[in-house]
Chain A
Amino acid sequence: MASLQLTTDDQSLIQRARRGDLEAFNSLVLQYQDSVYHVAYRIMGDPQSASDVVQEAFITAFRRLDTFRGGSFKAWLMRIATNQCYDELRRIKRRPATSVEDLGDPERDDAPDLPDQSDLPEQVAQQRELQRAIAQCIQSLGPDQRAVIVMSDIEEMNYQEIADAVGANLGTIKSRLSRARAAVRDCLQAVQELLPAAYRLTDDE
């Protein structure tokens, strides 16, 4: 997994932001908000909660810039965001929505991007079906596993960054990720027919 090094630009932005430069901070916000929102969305399960959480997270981040001591800024942001998510989940005391409609919303905004870029309506529909199924399987995981699998496989954070973001140790992250993947695999077994042939989770290699 590629480690996310801070560019020199980023570093100077952070320095300025630390000194209270809101503009500099907002540049960083624009840079990382998609990733942060995505993870928050996966954990919370619905766009509205995710938006609230992300906004709060960035405000908190600006206030606590002094606690960023180098390393992965993304992991640092994720840490704030996931904590905010868990706090919000506790506050709401409900499981994130797992309805397909909720999950479908943000994804409708994005063009589905299956490896085989077919534009045939049928295939487009199938792709959407597939994505929905996968998203649903991810959503069926617990928030901890969801956070980890999204950070790892979608946000491409390495184990250490995930550990820092979640506030757990490396071993915990490893096993949590492994179990999350196993759970998704099992879930996808149920919707084999939706999977493109090449992706059928059969015993064939």
Chain B
Amino acid sequence: MSDERRLSDQELEMLSAYLDGALTADERSRLESRLQDDPRLRRELSILRKTVELVKVVPPVKAPRDFTVTREMLRARPPRVLIFPATTLVSTLSAVAAMLFVVLGLLLLTSRAPTMQGVESGAESSVQDNQIAALPTDTMTILPTQPPVSVQLEATAEAFEPDDDAAAGIVAQATSGAQPPEDETQRSSKDDGVAASEAAAASAVENGITEMETFSEEAAEESAPESETLDTFAQSDDTEVFDRTNVPPAMPMPDAMQIPQGRGGAGDGTEMGSGGGDMGGADMGAFAGEAPDMAPQADLMQEDALVESYAATLTQEMEAETTMMEAAAPAEAPMVEMAQVASPTDEPTSTPTEPPTNTPAPTPTATPIPAAIPLPEGTAGVVGVLLVIFGILAFGLFAMTLRARRGL
């Protein structure tokens, strides 16, 4: 019995609290009855009590001097500069803002990834290229007249089936996220996009739009989102760029949404995606600058309008992607419109036909944007990065308020 001096931590805690009168009535009565029956417990309590009294024996240390505060002291120590009141409200708000910003920013950035990957993977592209090649005639015709991308799109779509499925699914998800989706449209848009790309590629090749190709490639690489379609084209010798421009908005959207896997560059895509996203943003700017250059190219294809509309669509899509929460409707709408536009009236299979000239209308904002799909994505990427930075800053603010409040 005497060997068991060590009570459990819990028992010691009970005794300690008992000494301080910090037990509830129930706990106290239970302990007291235990004390009556347990000599060991009694002994421990006695030792504890003596310990506490000995601690009290240590005389309170008196302050060696007065610590009164003087004005000089206050002046000598400039108050910590808080540009914000370190209140609970500011703390909470900055914490919430930090989380929101970071999450949104990351969402934006990661949404770019797929497209980037898509761009990366050229494998699919080649396959699709073949299929695209198969469409040349159609494409040719279609292109000049706002080709009924739809026709080719469908053909392409099939070719892209495996990817499309994934892409479509993603697109659907993306679009649904963005707006209640017109999956059908999306898909067709995507297909259109693809087809258009292919068509564009075909026509581009025909027209020797080499520059566009180059441009497309760059754009494709830079702008992941659009990548899918672009990728295909990028890889292909056909006009990647052209594809983009020609491809109605559908392309960009789907691409963006699509996962790289379709593109086969999944692994790389991921990395590229993120990097691409950022680069996309930058490139977008570059592309934007080059857009005008592209224009002439488009002219070759007689697709000025197409390009513009396409670019516009891309922009629209970009915006939609960027603000997933926001109604992607606008983007979708234009895309749909674009798709429709893209699928030229000429082709019977084409979906609603609007003269190419109309395309610019739907996407008023897109005008200056080059066919480069990356542009929209790039913007989203930039916004994403900015949001993350803001999130980090907000978190810093939160940390500072915590520190400031600790001093209270």
Binding site for B on A (CB under 8 A): 1, 22, 25-26, 29-30, 33-38, 41-42, 47, 51, 54-56, 58-60, 62-64, 67-68, 76, 79-80, 83-84, 106-107, 109-115, 130-131, 134-135, 138, 149, 152-155, 158-159, 167, 174-175, 177-179, 181-182, 184-185, 188, 195, 199-201, 203, 205
Contact = CB atoms under 8 A, between A and B. Distances in A.
Interface string B50-93: 11111111111111111111110110010100000000000000
Nearest to B408: A67
Contacts of B22: 1, 158-159, 174
A71 to B, nearest CB: 13
A148 to B, nearest CB: 11
A204 B6 CA distance: 16
Contact of A54 (B53, B62, B63): B63
Given A159-B22, A174-B22, A201-B50, A131 B59 contact: yes
Contact of B20 (A42, A59, A152): A152
Contact of B407 (A25, A60, A111, A112): A60
A17 B67 CA distance: 16
A134 B43 contact: no
Given A113-B59, A153-B52, A203-B43, 8 more contacts: A1-B20, A37-B61, A63-B79, A67-B405, A109-B64, A152-B20, A167-B406, A175-B9
Nearest 5 CB-CB pairings of A with B: A67-B408, A178-B16, A37-B63, A26-B68, A178-B13
Which of A1, A112, A185, A200 counts the most chain B CB atoms within 10 A? Answer: A185
Interface string B28-55: 0000000000000011001110111111
Contact of B66 (A30, A79, A80, A107): A30
A41 B55 contact: no
Contact of B55 (A34, A79, A184): A184
B62 A34 contact: yes
Nearest to B46: A205
A111 B55 contact: no
Contact of A64 (B5, B46, B47, B408): B408
A153 B21 CA distance: 13
A124 B379 CA distance: 81
B12 A178 contact: yes
Nearest to B48: A181
Nearest to B14: A178
Interface of B: 2, 5, 9, 12-13, 15-17, 20-22, 42-43, 46-48, 50-71, 73-74, 77, 79, 405-408
Nearest to B16: A178
Given A34-B60, A107-B59, A184-B55, A205 B43 contact: yes
18 contacts: A29-B69, A51-B65, A62-B74, A63-B79, A64-B408, A68-B408, A106-B62, A109-B64, A110-B60, A131-B58, A134-B58, A149-B55, A154-B60, A158-B20, A175-B9, A175-B13, A178-B9, A178-B16
A75 B27 CA distance: 27
B61 to A, nearest CB: 4
Given A64-B407, A111-B59, A113-B59, A177 B74 contact: no
Contacts of B43: 203, 205
A59 B47 contact: no
A55 B63 contact: no
Given A59-B77, A201-B50, A107 B408 contact: no
Given A22-B71, A63-B79, A203-B2, A138 B12 contact: no
Contacts of B48: 181-182, 185
A26 B9 contact: no
Contacts of A184: 51, 54-55
B59 A33 contact: no
Contacts of A200: 50
B19 to A, nearest CB: 9
B45 to A, nearest CB: 9
Q: In this complex, which of B46, B50, B63 has the most chain A Cβ atoms within 10 angstroms of its Cβ? A: B63
Nearest to A198: B50
Contacts of B42: 205
A138 B407 contact: no
A59 B74 contact: yes
B61 A201 contact: no
A134 to B, nearest CB: 5
B67 A112 contact: no
Question: A26, A41, A154, A181: which has the most chain B beta carbons within 10 Å?
Answer: A181
Contacts of A63: 74, 79
Contacts of B52: 153, 181
A130 B57 contact: yes
A153 B12 contact: no
Given A34-B63, A58-B69, A153-B55, A83 B407 contact: yes
A47 B60 CA distance: 13
B61 A41 contact: yes
A121 B407 CA distance: 46
Contacts of B5: 203
A6 B202 CA distance: 87
Interface centre among B50, B56, B68, B71 (most CB of A within 10 A): B68
A76 B60 CA distance: 19
Given A60-B407, A83-B406, A134 B55 contact: yes
Given A29-B67, A179-B9, A80 B407 contact: yes
A199 to B, nearest CB: 5
A130 B57 CA distance: 9
